[in-house]
Amino acid sequence: MMTDWNAMSDADFRKEVRGFFEAEYPEELRNLPHRPKFAEIAHWHRKLHAKGWVAPAWPAEYGGMGLNAAKLLIFYEEQQRWGVNRGRDMGVQMVGPLIIKFGTQEQKDYWLPRILSCEDIWCQGYSEPGAGSDLANLRTRAEIDGDDFVINGQKIWTTMAHDATHIFMLVRTDPDAPKKQQGISFLLAPMDQSGVEVRTITTLSGETEFCEVFFDNARTPRENLVGELNKGWTMAKALLSFERIFIGSPSLAQNALGQLESFARGRGAFDDPVFRDRFAQAALDVEDHAALYARFADQLKRGETLGADVSMLKIWVTECFQRITELMIEAAGPDGGTIGPLQVGNVGVDVLSSFYKARPGTIYGGSNEIQRNILSKAVLGLPG
């Protein structure tokens, strides 16, 4: 029978999770600096799958671990602590919960097992060239034609679309709806068809994790509509509620701080009191952020719903992460513009890569400007 993880004590559960990661997670995949293609982590995924741990948050009846909030946080904390790659988890994190909540029995039966096994690998089609911070402004159309939807338009910033078999997307199904948040639907579509073209986007650091996806009369069967027609916006928002604390998790900043410290120590940057002061600022920023994160996590663990104020975690930690990587550049001195690992002692620290990695945090997932707009109205009650 399934284990009832929630019945375990937090400490025992943490031990169990930690033990598994430490014993089974391949050393060479720890703290991967890039997003892997599936092939690169397939071996690890199979181990997880065999253990039944692919979907910690899903109900056990659908093949998940059925963890409550407290256990889920522990699971993720241990995952981050050990540098376990989250894998190609769009299916597990986004599509699965959507189908579980809004899908038909047929959709559940068909898609969920394929998500767990990674037979289908998903990417997320939300953003469009004209719909960034203003996500509801999307223009990609889907029109019913016989048994299919016919899709035309363009998605952008689609992470790893070039290594995905399916896309879940927000599309406009009623262009005449009075408000732009209306008339949007949630569709699943196969990538492997002539009407879908994927182009990778090169970032300023030379990475190609992001893609543009072009739809030119691409088709998907009508049964791939999830939930009601024209009600996709509300569904998409509902999905985000639990995600909001994770986007503000201290882990990225904490890891970067650790990297900064060992690099600075190796390079002798701590000999400079000015650098020490700025390091101390950054370190205390991370410590005190973690204290605030713990406060919100406690709320979750007590079963409370998080309010809009949880966004402050994301604002603080993404900016903090950036400052830490800027300090790495400083500590590198004349090597601050050099691509690739810089040697300190026996290890190489790639300061530029960290610097680049910290950039998108303030832009994606609702830019920090948008987050401040939300806090201003929803939390502080400021007018207009």
Partner 1 sequence: MTQTELPTSDQEDLRLLRESARTLFERAGGSGRSRKLRDSGGGWDADMIHELAEAGVFGVTVPEENGGLGMGLAAGGVIAEEVGRVIAPEPVVVTVGLSLGLLRRLCPDHAKMEQLVGGETVLAVAWQERGPNGGPAEASCRYADGKLTGGKAWVVGASSAQGFLVVAQGDAGPVLVLAQAGADGLSVDARRQADGSAMGELSFSGTPAEQLASGDTVQDALADAVSDTTALAAAELVGLSARAFEITLEYIKTREQFDKPIGSFQVIQHRAVDLNVMCEVAQSGVREALGLMDGEADPKVRARLASRAKARAVTAAKKITRDAIQLHGAVGYTDEFDIGLYLNRALVLSAWLGDDAYHRRLWFMAREAEGAA
Closest-CA residue to 226 (of 59, 96, 139, 88): 96
Shortest gap between Cβ of 330 and a copy of itself (angstroms)? 12
Cβ atoms 285, 323 nearer than 8 A: yes
Q: Beta partners for 222?
A: none
Distances (CA, A) of 154 to 75, 141, 367: 36, 9, 21
362 binds partner 1, rule: CB under 8 A = yes
Q: Which does 42 bind (CB under 5 to 8 A by kind): a copy of itself, partner 1, none?
A: none
Amino acid letter, residue 79: Q
| 243 has catalytic annotation | yes
Catalytic, out of 24, 119, 223, 243: 243
273 or 334, CB closer to a copy of itself?
A: 273
Q: How far apart are CA 212 and CA 189, in angstroms?
A: 15
Give DSSP secondary structure letters for 2-43.
---GGGS-HHHHHHHHHHHHHHHS-GGGTT-SSPPPHHHHHH
Name the residue among 25, 24, 40, 79 with its Cα closest to residue 56: 79
Q: What residues between 189 and 218 interact with partner 1 by CB under 8 A?
A: 201-204, 206, 210
Question: Which H or E run includes 373?
Answer: helix 368-374
Which residues in 10-69 contact partner 1 (CB under 8 A)?
none
Cβ neighbour number for residue 176 with a 10 Å cutoff:
6
Angle at 50 between CA 49 and CA 51, to 5 degrees: 90
Answer with the entry of a copy of itself, partner 1, none that 326 interacts with (C-beta below 5 to 8 A by kind).
partner 1
Is 319 a binding residue for a copy of itself by CB under 8 A? The answer is no
Show the site string, 321-350: x = touches a copy of itself by CB under 8 A, - = not.
Answer: ------------------------------
Q: Which of 144, 291, 307, 347 binds partner 1 (CB under 8 A)?
A: 291
Asked if 312 interacts with partner 1 (CB under 8 A), we say yes
Query: Binding pattern to a copy of itself, positions 264-303, x when CB under 8 A?
Result: --------xxx--x--------------------------
- Expressed in angstroms, the distance from the first to the final Cα of the chain is 55
Q: How far apart are CA 252 and CA 289, in angstroms?
A: 12
Q: Which stretch binds partner 1 (CB under 8 A): 111-119, 138-146, 167-175, 342-350?
A: 342-350
333 binds partner 1 (CB under 8 A): yes
Nearer to a copy of itself, 192 or 271 (CB): 271
Task: From residue 199, give the alpha-carbon distance in Å to each of 8, 204, 211, 358.
Answer: 47, 16, 5, 24
Nearer to partner 1 among residue 127 and residue 173 (C-beta):
127
Least distance to a copy of itself from the beta carbon of 324, Å?
Answer: 19
Residues 6+ apart with CB under 8 A from 368: 314, 315, 318, 319, 362
- Choosing among partner 1, a copy of itself, none, which partner's interface includes residue 8 (Cβ < 5 to 8 Å by kind)? none
By a kind-dependent CB cut-off of 5 to 8 A, residue 254 interacts, out of a copy of itself, partner 1, none, with: none
Residue 117 vs 368, nearer CB to partner 1: 368
Which residue's CB is nearer to partner 1, number 243 or number 288? 288
Residue 10 within binding range of a copy of itself, rule CB under 8 A: no
Q: Binding segment for partner 1 among 27-35, 43-51, 140-148, 281-289 (CB under 8 A)?
A: 281-289
Helix (H) or strand (E) holding 289: helix 273-301
Within positions 112 to 171, which residues make up the interface with partner 1, using CB under 8 A? 127, 130, 132-134, 137, 156-157
Which residues contact a copy of itself by CB under 8 A? Answer: 272-274, 277
Catalytic amino acids? 243
